[in-house]
Every structure is written in C-alpha cells, then in structure tokens.
A and B are shown apart, each in its own frame.
Chain A
Amino acid sequence: MTLLATERIKLFTTRSPWWSTVLALGVTVGLATMVGLTHDGPRPLTLTQTQFGTQFGLMVILVMAALAVTTEYRFATIRATFQAIPNRTAALLAKTTVVALLATVLGEIAAFGSWAAAKITATNTDLALTTADDWRRVAGTGLVYGIAAVMAVAVGILVRQSAGAISVLLIWVMLVENLVGLIPRVGADIQEWLPFIAVQRFLGNPGPDAVLGPWASLAYFAGVTAVLLVAALGSAAKRDA
C-alpha cells in the first residue's frame, strides 16, 4: 500500500496526467456531444455512435501511461525510485497499478460521459442499456483503458524514451494493425490475432464466426499485455538503472 501511495503522489504531482485527463475526457465526450447535436434522420442514434470517441481517449491513455514511466527515465528519477525501493519489480508494479487504475477510472468516465452526453443532446435515440452486451460495450471501455495502460507502461520500461515509446505505441495501434489486414491472403488471418483488433471485438458486436468471443478477446488482450509486462519487469531488474 505504501508503494501505491508513493506512486500516486508521484503521478499526480506532475502535469502530464492532468493534461491527459482533460484531453481524453474533453475530446471523447466532446465528440459524443457533436454526434448527438448533429444527429438526425429516421434511424435512432445507436450506442456504437456514442462511443466512437473512446478510440481517441485510448490513444491519450497510451501516451499518458508511457510518459508516466519514460519521464522517470528522462529525468533520472527512476534512480531515486530504485534507491528508495530497491525491489524494482515491486516499485514498477506499484506504478503500473496506479496508472492502470487511473486509466480505468478515466475510461469509465469517458464511456458513460459520452453515452450521457449523446443521450442529452440527441432527440431520437436508442440508448437504453438493457442487455449484458450493451453494458459490456460501455463499461468495458474502462477495462480496455486499464489494460492498455499496463501495456504502455511495459513498452515505456522497455524503450525508456518518450518519443520512441509513444511512436511505437501509436503507430502500432493506429497504423500497423490496420495495414496488416491489407496483405493479400494471409493478412486478414494475422489481423484477427492482433491485440487491439481483439479490443475492437470486445467493445463491438463480433459475429458468431469471429475467432474469439468478446470476453475471450479481452482475455487475449490481457494475456498479450501480461507477457509484455513480464518482459519489461525482467529487463528492468537486469538492466542498470
């Protein structure tokens, strides 16, 4: 608990988490509001339409989580951290936990905030959260943000440079995973097993012939993340700080 408190203090006494929070919530909820305001036509506004801004929030979370650890390397405060807490695995796990918790909370606020904003601003809506699937697609955002934050922290520990970690994460998520699908013949099959495509299945409505169901997709995403985190912790324990 002490370690968690330590990391919480460290996180909230710098500016980037605050910036990220404002940006992630502002843009996601802002986009949902715009959707709500501009929506018209015979078909009611759907749940999917209210949630499209959460993709943007996801990117901001990745950046925030990566920065939480890369800035420690940049300003060499990681040395002070390891000096205070020589058990590096414990120190880094504490940081990962705090960042992931913050990301989860932000995800829930972003998702429900977007849902509420659209419900208030649009006239013709079909936004009742009735089925378990409906709940998953809104409340699931928090889980995705939390796990994605763990992945970003792991990449941050491995790369140690803000610019490098952010570039790797953003280019991977937004570009590489989409480009892979364009490779003839094999592309689509590979793409099914890419982690953020799995996230899309979890937050979407995968058909019955999808390779994994929604919850299995989330578990797969978490598994990939766990592997990365173990690799990161292993390398941090071995490396000179």
Chain B
Amino acid sequence: MKPDVAQVLVDLAGRVARNAAPQIPAAQRAGELGLSAMLLGLAAEMWDGAAEILVQENAALRGLLASGARVSQDNARRRWLVELAGGRDGSLRLSALQGANAELRVALIALHAELERRDDPEAKDLEADIWRELVAGAERRRLSGSPV
C-alpha cells in the first residue's frame, strides 16, 4: 500500500493541527477534516492486517516461483526464480515485507508472461495456479468498504 501509512499519518497529524486554528474557513476545515477522517479509517483497517497479508502473499509467491523454476524454459529466469523462491521474510517490518513482495511480484509477472506464450499442460497448470493466487491476493487485500 502506497503511499506508506506512517508517512500519511504524519501528514494528517499536521493537517489536523493546522485546521484547529480559528481563522481556517469553515468549508475548508470541513472538507479537510472529513477527508482526513476517511483516510484515518482506511489506515486503521489496513494497518492491522498489513504484515499478515504480506507474509501470506510472499509465501504463496515463493511457492509459485519455485514451481516456475522447474517449469520455465529460460535458463536465466530459472536461476532468478530459484534464488527468489529460496528467500524468506527475515524481518516483519512493513517496509522489508513490501520490498520483498515487490521483487517477488516482478518475477511473477515475467513468469506469468512466459507461461501465457506456451501451450504445454505444465505451463497451463502453473498459469492457472498463478491466477488462483492473484484472485486470492486481491481477496486478502480487500477493504471492507471496497466498491468491488
């Protein structure tokens, strides 16, 4: 989730403090505080589950990349996938988990594109697995007020 929650909270704190000043026009104050409140609500919901979601997703992606390392027909990609699939989340800091998640997603996109170009059953099976995980990931990240 970008922008980072912590950075946004710092910004909102300053914004709320500024809106406490009596000379702020009422309409501006209402608009800024209303939006700030909405973002605080989103932050609260995302914050609680953020680490768990990333840990689950990173584990699922490493599993797919390990399968990809066996199936890929590109030697360089196989080595890349083996390396990423063997990684682990050594830190539970969100920034570290997000960094790892981004690396894994980049590799997944490359693997997915390769599998789409192939017709063999092994590739199609793994492609189906990737779609299942993409759907599951979107479900994990779903917010309670999501319009979809």
Is B a genuine binding partner of A? no
Chain B contact residues, CB within 8 Å of chain A? none
